[in-house]
A and B are shown apart, each in its own frame.
Chain A
Amino acid sequence: MATHTPEVEDFIGKKYKHGFVTEIDADTVAPGLDEDVIRFISSKKGEPSFLLEWRLQAYRHWLTMTEPKWAHVHHQPIDYQAISYYSAPKSKKDGPKSLDEVDPKLLETYEKLGIPLHERAILAGVAVDAVFDSVSVATTFKAKLAEAGVIFCSFSEAVRDHPDLIEQYLGTVVPYSDNFFAALNSAVFTDGSFVFVPKGVRCPMELSTYFRINAANTGQFERTLIVAEESSHVSYLEGCTAPMRDENQLHAAVVELVALDDAEIKYSTVQNWYPGDENGIGGIYNFVTKRGDCRGHRSKISWTQVETGSAITWKYPSCVLRGDHSVGEFYSVAVANNYQQADTGTKMIHIGRGTRSTIVSKGISAGKAQNSYRGLVKILPSADGARNYTQCDSLLMGDRCGAHTFPYIEAKNPTAHVEHEATTSKIGEDQLFYCLQRGLSEEDAVNMIVNGFCKDVFRELPMEFAVEAQNLLSVSLEGAVG
């Protein structure tokens, strides 16, 4: 049992006295974690008992686990008792009143990224009420989705309005016992997103802009669950190219995807959390568990990610290819600059017959950064005729960074085909000079070369977002050469 501070004790004591009523003044629970804190979170959110039970089981399991050390990253030990595990959505009163009050440097970045004007205010934390445009846009989206029968809401709303679906699917892809951070998330998650696409429905829009507008303040322990019923189709876009301000250093999200027969889920991520300054001070620790379950026959789950932010990224979006002839894909660009550390990759678990997976990973290292690809391709005895193709390329900029590749292949079925290709190249001074000699600026030349390197991944992104991703890459690598 973890110890906690007297403040928490005091606070929780008070709460008990009032019998779990919600008229509590405090918005933030004092740092520290124990079962009472979890009960507090659950009651604060008015959760059904099955969810509280699940959280507590997760917590008890977490206590038996130790933080994993195998990733190729280094950081100071994290003090889990120093984190506050609940904070109510912040009042907008303290935020800037208009864009005029926002740090001009941040606005400059938005400009470079080509973020639409009406979204900049939200991203910068300007009171949303002032931005009528986007609110009405969101409302329009909601109506359109409801018409199609698609459920898309915050995780809290889903728990309230669709508890049966949550109970049916939560933790079925990433059990709370999966790993240290997944267990922690399961115990203390505060919010996230829920998507449910009913049988035969093709989601009428990319779930992107809407999300971007509403993504603020989902907290550091985020939980996403996407369920695609038979023959449905959904494309979901998480994250944002714009640098998001966040005071929390540790982020441990869990994402679960479930695809039933003939369903397809395309999940795209652009991650640009604060990476720390050029001396490696500050920055987000991003420890994420993402997994998709191709539960049905001929289902397909495709992960596309562009990872440029965070001080440390530890993330392996994976596919469990359970259904026969199901397909898993992973396309990744991971950029690490200055002192950033990225350890990312994927797992493809082939269980069903004729399952196929494709992995394309592009790692870019600059400054003193360390970038690792870690991937597992596992073919179980049942997976007759399974196929995997893996391509893993690393690009180094300068001579103080590192690129590492840790591919694991376990094939237990003799009919499986597994291919692995890997390359490491330095951004050629020759390539750079060639472009300069044709009249391009150094900045444009680097962008062009890097974007060429990432082309196979960018073309998997939704169209509008591919452009932003390219811009993001150039902003992330600004000054990396020369």
Chain B
Amino acid sequence: MLSINNLQASVGGKQILNGLDLEVEAGQVHAIMGPNGSGKSTLANVLAGREGYEVTGGSVVYRDQDLLELAPEERAREGVFLAFQYPVEIPGVNNAYLLKAALNAQRKHRGEPELDAFEFLALVKDRMKLMGMDESFLNRGVNEGFSGGEKKRNEILQMAVLEPRLAVLDETDSGLDIDALRIVAGGVNSLRSADRAIVLVTHYQRLLDYIEPDFVHVLSGGRIVKTGDKDLALELESRGYDWTREAASA
């Protein structure tokens, strides 16, 4: 589904990714771990096509298309979803309204009929139950006055409604207390399926106690320096990241 080859990228003239390789197949869950500044969030933002993240080399093929050629909204409509590390507030814009517009933009792109207000409401209420969210969320401004946990839950709700093919979750666990973490992880787990791939970007192993990955990659200095299964995450937890860097440069 996703094939990243020797990807290099810079932010503000500073080289962050230095030849990153990653293969992700449908049905898999990959965890990308690494110390601060290793390029985890840069990878997530490059995949989503954020302005200011300049690709200086390499390639990203997504479902037989050159992903880097697509505009951010085209990537989204093709099924690439980014759960933001810091979901932004959009005052005055109704949460449900944004989500409905997004869903219908994607459905239109796929040649499917747009959902009317009733169909949409039925769908979103069903998904909200999954996330243990109160219906009042729908009528609030997008992330407006949401707590950190509410924002992250809202991201996963959007993912549950939009049903992406490739979901990149950027530090979705950060700032969550243990109850919120459990709910968010439960939501993500329920969205695991044979035709969907999930990439978890995280600093801590803790999230992986709840979402069991098929692969764990260690990112360091803008490259993947080590790949393993979930046990690698546990090893990182006890030994820290330094040894992987040494192993890579050895």
Interface residues of A (CB under 8 A from B): 428-431, 433-442, 444, 448-449, 451-456
Contacts and interface: CB of A to CB of B under 8 A. Distances in A.
B76 interface: yes
A452 B90 contact: yes
Interface string B38-69: 00000000001111000000000000000000
B105 A431 contact: no
Contacts of A430: 86, 88
A434 B94 CA distance: 14
A439 B102 contact: yes
B105 A440 contact: yes
Given A436-B76, A453-B91, A448 B101 contact: yes
A442 B50 CA distance: 13
B7 to A, nearest CB: 19
8 contacts: A428-B88, A433-B51, A433-B72, A434-B90, A435-B90, A435-B102, A449-B90, A454-B92
A65 to B, nearest CB: 42
Interface in B76-112: 76-77, 81-82, 84, 86-94, 97-99, 101-103, 105-106, 109
A281 B231 CA distance: 68
Contacts of A448: 90, 93, 97-98, 101
B237 interface: no
B88 A431 contact: yes
Contacts of A452: 90-94, 141-142
Contact of A439 (B49, B76, B84): B76
Given A430-B88, A435-B98, A436-B73, 10 more contacts: A430-B86, A436-B49, A436-B72, A437-B82, A437-B84, A439-B77, A439-B106, A452-B90, A452-B142, A453-B92
Contacts of B72: 433, 436-437
A448 B101 CA distance: 10
B184 interface: no
B51 A439 contact: no
A437 B142 CA distance: 14
A433 B50 CA distance: 7
Contacts of B28: none
A441 B73 contact: yes
A355 B49 CA distance: 54
A contact face: mostly helix, strand, loop, or mixed: helix
Contacts of A436: 49, 71-73, 76
A430 B90 CA distance: 10
A453 B51 CA distance: 23
A442 B102 CA distance: 12
- Number of chain B interface residues as a range: 35 or more
A437 B93 contact: no
Contacts of B131: none
A455 B92 CA distance: 6
Contact of B158 (A431, A438, A453): A438
B162 interface: yes
A442 B90 CA distance: 15
6 A-B pairs with the lowest CB-CB distances in the bound complex, closest first:
A452-B92, A452-B93, A438-B102, A439-B76, A455-B92, A436-B72
A124 B244 CA distance: 72
A452 B142 CA distance: 10
A441 B93 CA distance: 16
Contact of B73 (A428, A439, A456): A439
Nearest to A441: B73
Nearest to B82: A437
B233 to A, nearest CB: 27
- Tell me which of A437, A449, A452, A454 has the highest count of chain B C-beta atoms within 10 A of its own C-beta: A437
A356 B76 CA distance: 48
B225 to A, nearest CB: 28
A438 B98 contact: yes
Nearest to B90: A431
B88 A440 contact: no
Nearest to B72: A436
A444 B162 CA distance: 18
A440 B93 contact: no
B88 A444 contact: no
B88 A434 contact: yes
A436 B82 CA distance: 11
Contacts of B71: 436
A452 B93 CA distance: 5
B170 to A, nearest CB: 11
Contacts of B82: 437
B146 to A, nearest CB: 13
Contact of A440 (B49, B50, B73, B141): B73
A456 B50 CA distance: 31
Contacts of A440: 73, 98, 101-102, 105
A442 B76 CA distance: 13
B57 to A, nearest CB: 23
Contacts of A441: 73, 105
A440 B88 CA distance: 15
A444 to B, nearest CB: 7
Contacts of B76: 436-439
Contacts of B48: 433, 437
B105 A444 contact: yes
Nearest to B102: A438
Contacts of A442: 73
B87 A434 contact: yes
A444 B100 CA distance: 13
A451 B87 CA distance: 20
B92 A451 contact: yes
